[in-house]
Structure 1
Amino acid sequence: MDDPDSRPEFRVLGPFEVRVRDRTLELGGPRIRTLLALLVANADRVTAVSTMADALWDVDATPGTERTVRTYMSRVRRSLAPVAAVLGAADLIETRAAGYALRLSPAFLDAREFERLVPAGRTALAAGDPVTASDRLSQALALWRGDAYEDFAGTPALLAETRRLHGLRLGAVEDRVDADLATGAGEALIAELTALSEQHPGHERLWGQLMTALYRAGRQADALDAFTRARAVLVDQFGLDPSPRLTEIHRRVLDNDSRLFPATGPVRLPARPRTDAAEHAPAGAVRNDLPGDIADFAGRETELARLLAARAGIAHTAPTAVVIEAIDGMAGIGKTTLAIHAAHRLAEHYPGGRLFLDLHGHTSGQAPITPPAALDTLLRALGVPADRIPHDQDARAALWRAELAGRSTLVVLDNAADAAQVRPLLPGSAGTLVLITSRRRLVDLEPAHILSLDVLPEADAIALFTGIVADGRLTAEPESVRDVVELCGRLPLAIRIAAARLRSRPAWTVGHLADRLRQAHRPLAELSAGDRSVAAAFALSYRQLDAPRQRMFRLLGLNPGPDIDVPAAAALAAVAPGEAERLLESLVDDHLLEQPVTGRFRFHDLVRQHAQSTALAEEPEPGRRAALRRLVGFHLHTAHRGSRLLDQQHPPIDVGEPPAGCTPAPLRDDAAAMTWFDVNHQCVLAARQAAEDAGWDTCVWQLAWTLDNFHYRRGHLQANITSWLAGLAAAERLHDLAVQARAHRRLGLVYGPFGKPAEALHHLHRSLTLSREIGDTLGQAGVHFVLALHWTHEKDDEQALEHATSALEQYRALGDPKWEARALSLIGACQSRLGRHEEARAHAEAGLAFCRERKDVYGEADALDSLAAIAHETGHHGDALGQSRQALTLWRLLDNTYRQAGTLASMGDAHRALGHHDQARAAWQQAIDLYRARNLHPAADEIEKRSANLGSAAPPWPPGARSAG
């Protein structure tokens, strides 16, 4: 290949991707991706059809499954067509007797490139060139973007390859650490080696490397402790004694052996003085325990102003009272940073002392400080001798309050677990300001004023990132800077870590950092530096929950929608709604969940990723699948009831019984149904996608059906097309001709007003063929009805009338008066445009009478639209306007914004004909706004032309634009 930039890339060391010319290919659904992954893992070797069938369905290959596999393989070939085109090959996949083989050059596969670079690094290390070795091995490891084949964790056929690659990766990491140690590294490796030894406790080599790094960092005691932990793990978990090599490193640590340093000699570290937090301040000195101020503090102007105003109780209470400000927020939101910064700004006003105490409410590996222990520390900080401090908690609290009396003191209680931990530490007299930080909202700390922190505004987030990095790369890439802070969720801790990583890597661009964060499943892995990690902060918050809240948290990570309400969460977790609400509200108090509006809950983006990974790690696969099935069932059954309320004449489907533990939301009437759909639309769409990904084909087409009425009323045509295309594919997989006919019919209806008449006609003809094949007369009538609408839109009224008449005849034969009435109205509209006005009026009036008699409000509005069109055609513009107004009232009663737009357009036409140009433009503008809001731009453009020149034009979509079935 002449152009190396066009070389295709097959990436399996992380999320599965195929890239060509810097573009990631859309490979298709999960089954297509699984087949391609199998072929890549066995590149240039045959993958048996039986292996493919097992991976897709967990069944033995049968003649039926083999045919299906071969069908899928044609889609795999289509997905690889851009790769084949770049390589100048007709096909990359060879069909063999036993299966298929993918012809793939090793240079195109990141796993093979990794395997090429690792031996080069090991060769350099063996040759005594650790710098080159570290470089080669780092290059190899940089190819990893996550776990190998991480999209296919549940595919047994890929398990052996995945384990092989992970083994190679760990070996490469150990070799790279050896290379780094040989160059003199030590302290910089500690965090990485600590994590690795915890993940792979049976690897003695890692323990030895960790001990060496700790010793080089001047942490001899920690190195010895690491050996103790390693020995305990090896004996308890593996029944092994430490190897002679590990024992030798231990001996050298004990002996301060210089051989633990590289040949250039040991690194001499300065001695660190010991400090005691309880040591008394010198006589007459003002106690100041505040940590150093934050040099790169950014934003929080409003919150900081409130804390500064609290100095004299200005913000909330009388100047003579104790002022207590409790700052809460999610992990990494910047609570401690704000409290310390505010404390430094306030320090000069508190000559009695500035005390700081970390209560360890959320500290990894350390239990929260008990109130008696906290009081002991605080009293000693005030200079109280140990022999004066009582043992009883209440007596200590009383002495604490007495010692503070008359002093002007600032107390920062950081990292509180809950109100019970803090309450005994509160002062009782004026002149004291207490700043408390906690991940939990301390609503039960009665005297406190609550200050809840949200993520940073964009400008402040950018300022924080810029202040930390502080170099010219940011000026050149302002959009990438915005991308990075948004990918960090504007969470201060995440921004600080991302900025620190960029600052420490001069070769990186901001865009490269953004790309790394943008990769699927990557942000939390990337947001780690040294001993700081966003994921670790979230994990700690999760571990401190009780079991029911932990379960709800991780199950919420399975929710595919943007948010969730109480009934849906109850179904997800199979608990009563009251219990679900309690758990959700508690997670809000713990800042693991947000409540943007009453009754709806969502995750911060990074917390969502942590919840997802926690669910995968801790919730068994059957439990995850059952929870998702309950959630999909909840949306299906609730949406089905809602759709039936919106149009009880819509041909029903049988959705069976809800899954066990799932109770659909109660919907009283069509107004409640529209409200539910408006609020939950994106959630139902996400449930349909989740059903598709899970292979629940029946749910896929049923969800498309349940959304159809709502999509039509709101004019969500693109969403309806997407849903029915998925429903059609599901019906084809199920070999259900009746559902296929229905899907084609619905697609034929929505493609027309979407400006794609050829696609509409294709689907309608296919639907008619299938309906005839299975003897579905009602379906045939529905297709003729929609074809009449189609040809009206195409301004072929003769064909429109022919199909409308066919629909009427079949509805009459079926004895369906509702659709007979609607067909009469449609015939009237067609006849009017053909100049047969009297026949048209007679048909439309008959349709109106039918609908009024049967209280069919939809049909009544439809008939009034037809009569208005006839009146307009015959020059009776006042009558047309009156009938359109009646129709508009009914469309608004039905909350059908799509049909409101069409009626408003017709009203504008009538006003124009009457010379009411201002009223015409006003009606047209309302129609334009409704169409634009639903991305129906062709219809809106056509009306705008009328408004611009007041020229004549036909309505953008005729009356009767609602199909049967």
Structure 2
Amino acid sequence: MDTVRIRLLGPVTAYRDTVEMPLGPSRQRAVLGYLALHRGQPVPLGAITRAVWGDDAPVSGEHLVRTYVARLRRALEPGTPPRARTNVIASVPGGYRLDVPPERVDASHFRHLLGAARSRQAAGSPHDAFHLLTRALELWQDPTLADLGGLLASPRHLTALRRDWVDAGLRHIEVGLRLGQASAVLPVGERLAAVEPLQETVQARYLEALTRSGQRAAAVHHFLDVRARLRAELGVEPGPELRRLYAALLHAGDEPQPPAGAPATVAVVEPDPRHRWCGPGPPIGPLIGREDDLSRCATLLVAHRHVTVVGPAGCGKSATGLTVAERVAGAFPDGVATVDAAEARDCGEVLRLLAETLELPPDADPLHAVGQQRVLLVLNDVEHLGARAGEMVDYALRRCRGAAMLVTSRRRLGLTHEAVFRLAPLALPDLDAPETLADNPAVRLFAHRAGLIRPGFRLTPADTVTVARICHGLDGLPLAVELAAACLYTDSLDGVLRRVDHPLDELRPHRRGHPRHHRSLSAALHRSLAMVPPVDLACLARLGVGDRSFSLQEAVTHCAGLVSPDRLPAVLDRLAEESLLAVRPGPDGPRYRMLRTVALAAVAARGSGPGEGHQEFHGIAGNQP
């Protein structure tokens, strides 16, 4: 008889030598799959029927199974006389048996290799066990068994096989790490983590593999993703093992990896729940729509001593920075100190505020007090301090060698050691896809805030469209969306939508507990424009009239008479540095985009409306830098 091989650990297929054989319709393939799961064992006809149809088996179910078996025999043994086609699927009293050697059914071969690997591991032969486990896992094309699972009526038929795959993967990682093969086990760890996202043992082994292979930033990012998923789907925090591994990862720094052959254990330290936090804390309540940003920024902060979060006014830089600080606080045993520098007149006042935060005497040097401690310093809203802010941060990091710095600002500081994290507004809702609106982060933020202002608030389908239009008109800026939702205290949803026509004047709800520039959209944007040179502001206002997406050549046309074409790129670069323009490189040169709210503020600041001509701007052409 020709060699027949059957595969279950991916698409259900059968081969004679190297030629794939047609297995027929799905029910027929299900019969073969179920018999192959029980290779060499007699399987009653009723058990096959239940496996294929579950409790909904038709009256003719057993007759259909016999028909499927006859067709499978014809496909598997085409050169054998009809009555002699029992070499692959044999008849037994009341049922059938698949008579194929174990090495010719991948699931059986996998279990044989796994059993041998367990024995070699128990006997103290890790190299043999690792080789056997590698061969066993290579048989799996699809760990989810999606094809076979879709053919059978119940997933319970695959539970044991899936459990064996997880066991093989965990053993592969454990033995591989013991042998110093961290990089070799990463693909298996990644597959395990993707298929079993809520199994903490799996996630812990993958985290350990990432760490031992030197991918520290990726390990931090993965832990944060796992923690967010556990919170969102199960409402729980990571267990002790994951927390210990994360703490060890954060404290590991640049320590060398264990030598090959060292035990696959990591010295772990539980995060101290009493770690000191001085200064303003993170916002109360969820930071909606920012989970990916939080994870990426936290990863960046672990990998670098200095991160600056930049973005337009009202995009949530301070809230994001403080939440990131909370997430990585366990990495800083000497605490976290936060300073709101928005009202500081100079860098000296920022340092005095830091001293006050650290509860030092008024004339104390806070940087001397920090010394070599492992502290995270968070400075919020430093853009108004100009170049001095960068000099202060550079000086602080040079004096405080154990400290890290997280800064929020509309512009980057321009330091050589600075890692920049760009924070954009929330994604805009797609008004042409109403079925997606309720899941849009800006819409969800509005609904959450509205529920606080008006308990019991629920979005109807019609309301969802209105809220989406509100969020769209406010550029998805979290500050603007929150202000709009707060207006529901005295206004209707349609009334709030009308306010969006004039957001600078009409989004001014009563708001306490926030810095002055966060109490209205007008205040936030005015702060952004206050230090912009007059000619730059004039160009911004001119570009804000009409289409707010433009190329360099289109900008030259719009700004004619304000600045010469050869100087305009420098003006646009400065506006982009201030997060007043977004720029995207392209094959035909850069393309710029301005937020609607920024355009309204720029036009208002210049005292020019959309219907006015260009004469308003001619008088300031002489102020070009």
TM-score interval w.r.t. the shorter chain? 0.3 to 0.5
What is the TM-score with the length of structure 1 in the denominator?
Answer: 0.28
Rg bigger for which structure? 1
Structure with greater contact order relative to length (CA < 8 Å, sep ≥ 6): 2
What is the TM-score with the length of structure 2 in the denominator?
Answer: 0.41
